[in-house]
Structure 1
Amino acid sequence: MIICCALFFIFGFVTWANGTLIPFLKLALNLKTDLQAFFVTFASYIAYFFLALPSSWILKKLGFKNGLVLGMVILGLGSLVFIPAADNRSFGLFLTGIFIQGSAMALLQTAVNPYLSIIGPIDSAAARISIAGLCNKGAGVMVPIIFGLLFLDNAKEVTAKLDATTDPVAKNAILDELLHRVHTPYIVLAVVFVLFAVLIKFVHLPEINAEDDEAVVENDDVKYTAAKNNIFQYPHLFLGAFAIFCCVAVEVMAGDIINTYGRELNIDANILRFSTSFTLICMLVGYVLGIATIPRFISQQMALRICALSGVLLTIVSAFTAGYVSYYSVALLGLANSLMWPAIFPLGIKGLGKFTKTGSAIMIMGIAGGAIWPLVYGFLKDKMHIDFQHAFLLAMIPAYLYIIYFAIKGHRVGMKK
């Protein structure tokens, strides 16, 4: 469990770095629109769609532990790509490094999420994932502060200098200095990831073979015995994967896009650089509540309903208010989003038995929601010229409504009463 929590910390550090990289790369590479900058999240999350199923195959061949070692090494290599990307001022190379990191994360997540779900009772899986989620979101709180200070320090002054400078040589010198800030942090990250891979190699981690388990689900109102030989005979799995798609979509919108949203609201720049931390602090509060209440006081399904409904209400408030009320309503979406992944994932793979690893990979593919939804928002805002608050509303509400459907009915589809 300690290794799993450490891995979730690493997931959080790498993933939520996007919230700082979006404004940093837009400034340092002189990107023209927010839509361009949102390709940072696209490169990070789309890797899950393409690599999740191959990751399942890799884990079957290499085993759980060796799969983790390989994933950490790839994560280190992806971090090193940032160095030539900065030196060549290449947005394409930055996206390549981010995609490689996302590919490593797909392998690691495909291994760790089902591991947490099946090392104990499935009905308490949300609590275990919430404990690991504390580490994930704890890292998410830290990384915008650390990277904000390293990358976005004096961002307002740098922007003013760039606007005032007409000499191309002087402007290039300013941008080169800005991009040079990437070197040390990402070299340190690469070293840490490789050292952690070595640690995993020599630590005992029990292999859990879900493929030998009979897929039987029982609770108060459903019983599902799986004498099935095809993954497509589990419709709740695919509905769950799309719920994960929607869940990650709204998480990324609240966590990574809040900086852009706050800029449109004219929030002070010194506050903006810590925007992702505000959202992640709210998520941490939600995880603590989940650990304390699931399944002792409320079920995973009920927690999911409450969270999604809260998300709808907070999104409406953010869209029809202004200033700091609107801004902090987006941050509070972190609280609404906090228990959705821990509830959706075990519901999606419940009763899969020998298909658990493949089912987990399909669920992980849903993380691609984080790639698509910021682009949808950017397209609505920058290309269709919809007001940024209304564009946010149009992007968020359908995702929350689908999650409510999954919480009430979708997770039961295919199960016999």
Structure 2
Amino acid sequence: MRTSTLVKTAGPFLLLTFVYFIVGFLTTVNGQCQGPLKIAFLSDVTENKNSLATLVSFSFFLGYLLNSSKTGRMIDRLGYKKTLIRSMIVMVMGVAFYLASALCAEYCSDVTIGIGGDMVPIGYFVFLLGSYLMGTSAAMLQVVINPYIAAYPLPGTQAVQRMNFTCAVNSIGTTIAPFFVTGIMFAGVSLDSVSASQLTLPFLVMVLVIAFTTWTTSKANLPDIEGTRENASDKPRRSIWSFRHLKYGVITIFF
């Protein structure tokens, strides 16, 4: 009976861990694409090349800034599973915009927008929107998964063990992403010869994988965990900033 319960509860836990792997993987892929994007989308840009390349990371983390707190309220209103599915749908949309940007560069390279004397391909702005959506989805997924994994009733485990395992898998995704970018997306091609058309197939594969994972997650049994959502009548007894480990943690991660 205990083995059956463990198998039944381990499935959703491993599924969420895989989703967290994707978060770490795509966060790094987004950053690793800055250099190739300079060549693929901004090769003819002179005055604002570095600023436009940096906007890729800026737009990604803007999603964190603008949408993290909204996700917490969404969890209270909709529950963990529905919020998780919505977060993954945003991720599918983000990668779909990545794919669309590659297609724009391949088939609409003549369509440009003027910025400060530079003519910037429309594909760059499509990728920028995709980057924002990816940052939004990464922020939403972290807000959903972290407390859920900590409270998830997996027999024979403690919260710190579950969090350590999930974060380790997330770090594996972060570690292998650069090898994916250099070894698969731009395999055998020097940086100054990169073309946006090389992004099409990898982005298409990622769209399909994440869409399938989203569908699988929607079918999985992810029970809502009691005591982890705020009720309308609940009032915090103290400020979160009164916890020293949180306050010092925020300062540390900033630096």
1:56 alignment partner in structure 2: 72
The question of whether the paired residues in 2 share the 8 Å contact of 1:19 and 1:144 is answered with: no
For 2:53 and 2:228, locate their aligned partners in 1 and report how far apart those are by CA, in whole Å.
42
1:5 alignment partner in structure 2: 17
The question of whether the paired residues in 2 share the 8 Å contact of 1:70 and 1:197 is answered with: no
Map 1:138-149 → 2, pairs under 5 A: 138-149=172-183
The question of whether the paired residues in 2 share the 8 Å contact of 1:47 and 1:99 is answered with: yes
Q: TM-score, normalised on structure 2?
A: 0.73
| Cα separation, partners in 2 of 1:125 and 1:148, compared to 1, 3 Å | same
3-state SS, counterpart of residue 129 of structure 1: helix
| Cα separation, partners in 2 of 1:193 and 1:127, compared to 1, 3 Å | same
| Cα separation, partners in 2 of 1:239 and 1:71, compared to 1, 3 Å | same
Aligned to 2:63, which of 39, 47, 60?
A: 47
1:20 alignment partner in structure 2: 32
| Cα separation, partners in 2 of 1:234 and 1:58, compared to 1, 3 Å | closer
- Following superposition, the deviation at residue 210 of structure 1 comes to 2.5
For 2:237 and 2:55, locate their aligned partners in 1 and report how far apart those are by CA, in whole Å.
32
Identical aligned residues as a percent:
19
Which protein is richer in helix relative to its size? 1
Which amino acid is 1:233 matched to?
A: S
What are the superposed Cα offsets for residues 345-394 of structure 1, whole Å, 9 maximum, x if unpaired? Answer: xxxxxxxxxxxxxxxxxxxxxxxxxxxxxxxxxxxxxxxxxxxxxxxxxx
| Cα separation, partners in 2 of 1:112 and 1:232, compared to 1, 3 Å | same
2:152 alignment partner in structure 1: 119
1:405 alignment partner in structure 2: none
Instruction: Note the aligned Cα RMSD (angstroms).
Output: 2.9
Higher relative contact order (CA 8 A, sep 6+): 2
Q: TM-score, normalised on structure 1?
A: 0.47
The runs of at least 4 consecutive aligned structure 1 residues that moved more than 6 Å come to: none
- Following superposition, the deviation at residue 33 of structure 1 comes to 5.1
- Following superposition, the deviation at residue 114 of structure 1 comes to 0.9
For 1:232 and 1:115, locate their aligned partners in 2 and report how far apart those are by CA, in whole Å.
22
Which amino acid is 2:72 matched to?
A: S
For 2:219 and 2:21, locate their aligned partners in 1 and report how far apart those are by CA, in whole Å.
20
Aligned to 1:69, which of 85, 89, 92?
A: 85
| Cα separation, partners in 2 of 1:189 and 1:130, compared to 1, 3 Å | same
3-state SS, counterpart of residue 130 of structure 1: helix
The question of whether the paired residues in 2 share the 8 Å contact of 1:150 and 1:181 is answered with: no
Q: Can you give the 5+ residue segments of structure 1 that lack an aligned partner in the other structure?
A: 160-173, 214-227, 250-398, 400-417
The question of whether the paired residues in 1 share the 8 Å contact of 2:76 and 2:229 is answered with: no
The question of whether the paired residues in 1 share the 8 Å contact of 2:37 and 2:53 is answered with: yes
1:185 aligns to 2:202 (yes or no): yes
Residue-pair matches, total: 217
Map 1:317-332 → 2, pairs under 5 A: none
1:105 aligns to 2:138 (yes or no): yes
Q: Can you give the 5+ residue segments of structure 2 that lack an aligned partner in the other structure?
A: 1-12, 106-120
- Following superposition, the deviation at residue 246 of structure 1 comes to 4.5
| Cα separation, partners in 2 of 1:71 and 1:241, compared to 1, 3 Å | farther
2:110 alignment partner in structure 1: none
